[in-house]
Structure 1
Amino acid sequence: MKKVLIVFGTRPEAIKMAPLVNKFQQYVDTFETSVCVTGQHREMLDQVLRLFEIIPDFDLDIMKEGQDLYDVTSTVLTKMRDILHTVKPDLVLVHGDTTTSTAVALAAFYQKIPVAHIEAGLRTHNIYSPWPEEINRQITGRIAAYHFAPTQLSRQNLLDENVPDNNIVVTGNTVIDALQWVVEKIEGNNQLSTEIGEMLNNFGYDYLRLNNDKRLVLITGHRRENFGEGFINICKALKALANLYPSVDFIYPMHLNPNVRKPINDIFGDGKPDNIFFIEPLDYLPFIFLMKKSYLVLTDSGGIQEEAPGLGKPVLVMRDNTERPEAVEAGTVQLVGTEYDKIIAGVSLLLDDENHYNSMSKANNPYGDGESSDRILEFLIKKLNN
């Protein structure tokens, strides 16, 4: 029996690793599976653990007020030393492009433990965009023994970096596995939908508005590279759009970072349109509920570029480039950057032009069919037990 250690630390990682954790735990005769969380996100991480009913075997609990990337990297690296000595895994699984995944991969490398990289091969080829994610995934990719690429393009990126073809598997993205699980949970439980609606009411948004053919633009924004002028432009564009489209609701679950909240307060502090709603951050489940109810999504997030098309929602990305060009090529995603005029033009076109909207909403999602975790398990069973 092989020992497997699955490590993650942020909410997006937890969402994408949860289906894989649950799948591994079904193979108790094949794998001895342990789960370690770093707590790089604390409250948001715990929400996902509760939703997917995952109880970690180890919790590094690294979150401290005012910490920076130096603190996160060094703390994860040193604390993982003891965890790896204790577990002695045959394989460590990490996800994506976070500081957690890179520091964990490096810690495993220092003990010559093979690493499997979930969501491998994404690239912008600009180490400062997105920052620090692009260099994180490149470093993790150099260390990893096994690479689970979500798309053929991701696979080709790895081949271009001389990764052996027999160590790459195109799996789709596990976020679609998680998305389908949550949607089924919501749709199969009327009481749960009612509870989510009541929570939105408590946050200041009357969810009954969504039952009257009300169009909703769902907004998220949190990326470091947009701090400052970028977020000021975003807020000014949102204010203008809310005034241009008074019959459309704009909902923005605000990230806790003060670099996000300050420009919101500065731009909207002297009064905001009645149809824009700034609410507190949402757990994953109610966020998916809102995404499913939305007409389109305006975001600077990475994972939402994969999730929203799975629900038929066009995505406008407030970034200048993306490590997910497959979505742009497929037509499910459009880059609008953080320029005031481009944001307004992109949203307006989707709200005004039904043909354009349909071309995006009905495009095929390139990120999978909900069976990514099965493909990963199938590969590892063969690889580790031969």
Structure 2
Amino acid sequence: MSDIRTLAVVYGTRPEAIKMAPLIMALRREETLDVTTVNVGQHRDSLMLVPSVLRMGDDQKFSISQDGLSLTDISTRAWRTVSRALDRSGCDAVVVQGDTSTALCGALAAAYAHKPVIHLEAGLRTGNPASPFPEEMHRKLISGVAGLHLAPTKTARANLVREGVPPSDVQVVGNTSIDASRIALEAWSPERSAIPADLLVEGRDLIIFTAHRRENWDKMEDFSRLLRRLATRYPQIGFVLPLHPNRLVTDVLRLGTSHLPNVRLLGPMPYDDMMKLLTRARVVVTDSGGLQEEAAALGRPTLVIRDTTERPEGIEAGVAALAGTDVDTIEKLVCTLMDSPEEYRRMACPSTCYGDGRAAERALRAIVDFMAGSR
């Protein structure tokens, strides 16, 4: 019997592709493993904005994306697609990442085919099934079928153990988003960058604002009002809004803020450009999980515009604050950071609370040991 074991790595969205990339790099260097990548295409052109240094190539590539699909439609297409891809791959185990529909369907398809499931970024929990929806539900379902849980933090591990996952099945490895951001920043080039030059002027302060989560869709008009007030109060600050592809989100923000001279609305950005902008940000206001992690590593004070977060480590470390979604509260917190040097210095400290850039290396060792024991 061959000593080479085959892993199918399944992803379908840009965040998955980015967070999987450092792990795929590590897996491909391992002589005992053969890796096949399956891009389900949950996001149309999901790899278009992934910099070349993080593009791992798709051994099997599909496109299930279509405008107007319901969550049920997406999951049905993803499940069918992954099932066929796994049949073709003849893999011994399946790796999924995070909490997308692709991740859930990849895990279930593997479980139905009696293939071990390895879950990268396991154990994140808010404790609220409706926030984020459907991600919180997806995470718990994946945990129910996974054989190896690669938790990013000790808190995530504790969540899994509390739910009954055997401690021996959980390994704390860190978050590969930190690995990916370091790789992207090292490879960033001004010649290839799409960032407007005026946003990179030395000494110019920026506030980055992003909002895209389903539970915030009905708050976009409130957020537009918030941005108008802040942009008027701080005319010397550049407010940068990297817009989400979802028109339900972007149209309201565009209509409410595009007339302001110090507000810059940018289309979906290449990941390396986004990381470069993040290094120039004075404050980050976001509902994005990935940005919470990356901003913490770079020491950028972050206000999380959600009522709950599955990433409490940044708040505990003091580099982030849970601002909620009330615009008056958010405004006060932004103003405090802008007007109080002492408060700003308190939060502007780089932290390894989400990882130290070596998560892929630890995940590889855990996977090699797991595969050796699953023969």
Question: Within 5 Å, which residues of 2 pair with 1:354-369?
Answer: 354-362=341-349, 364-369=351-356
1:131-170 equivalent positions in 2, closer than 5 A: 131-170=133-172
Asked whether the 8 Å contact 1:95–1:119 carries over to 2, the reply is: yes
Q: How far 1:266 sits from its partner (Å)?
A: 3.9
Say if 2:72 is the partner of 1:85.
no
CA contact (8 A) 2:205 2:281 kept: yes
Whether the aligned pair in 2 keeps the contact of 1:297 and 1:315 (CA below 8 Å) is yes
Does 2:323 align with 1:336?
yes
Report the equivalent of 2:247: 258
Q: Which residue of 1 aligns with 2:271?
A: 284
In 2, Cα distance between equivalents of 1:81 and 1:119: 22
Secondary structure of the structure 2 residue equivalent to 1:285: helix
Name the count of aligned residue pairs: 370
State how far apart, in whole Å, the 2-side matches of 1:363 and 1:330 are: 10
Kindly state the Cα deviation for residue 295 of structure 1 after the two structures are TM-superposed.
Answer: 1.0
Counterpart of 2:54 (choices 52, 66, 77) is 52
The alignment's TM-score, normalised by the length of structure 1, stands at: 0.93
- Determine the C-alpha separation between the residues in 2 that align with 1:66 and 1:342: 34
- Single out whichever of 331-340 and 314-323 deviates more from structure 2: 331-340
The verdict on how the C-alpha distance between 1:233 and 1:227 changes in structure 2, with shifts beyond 3 A counting, is same
Cα displacement (A) at 1:51: 4.0
Match of 1:101 among 71, 81, 103: 103
What TM-score do you get using the length of structure 2 for normalisation?
0.95
In 2, distance between residues paired with 1:33 and 1:57? Answer: 9
Aligned to 1:297: 284
> How far apart are residue 280 of structure 1 and its match?
1.2
Paired residue type of 1:166: S
Give structure 1 stretches of 5+ with no counterpart.
Answer: 187-191, 202-206
Kept after mapping to 2: 8 A contact 1:44/1:283? no
Aligned mates of 1:120, 1:212 — CA distance in 2: 39
Please state whether the residue corresponding to 2:186 is helix, strand or coil. helix
Query: 1:326 corresponds to which residue?
Result: 313
What residue is the counterpart of 2:229 in the other structure? 240
User: Deviation of residue 363 (structure 1)?
Assistant: 5.5
Structure 2 unaligned residues grouped into runs of 5+: none
Instruction: Please provide the CA RMSD for this pair.
Output: 1.4
Q: Which residue does the alignment assign to 1:195? A: 192
Aligned partners of 1:171 and 1:372 also within 8 Å: yes
What letter matches 1:220 in structure 2?
Answer: T
Name the structure 2 match of 1:189: none
Task: Give CA-to-partner distance per residue, 1:105-153, whole Å, 9 cap, x none.
Answer: 1111111111000000000111110111100111111110000001111
Deviation >4 Å, runs of 4+:
none
In the alignment, is the contact (CA less than 8 A) between 2:336 and 2:343 conserved in 1? yes
Residue among 6, 9, 20 paired with 1:3:
6
User: C-alpha separation between the residues in 1 aligned to 2:227 and 2:257?
Assistant: 10
Question: Deviation at 1:346?
Answer: 1.3
How far off is 1:267 after superposition?
2.3
* Aligned twin of 2:22: 19
Which position in structure 1 is the counterpart of 2:76?
A: 74
Percent of residue pairs identical = 37
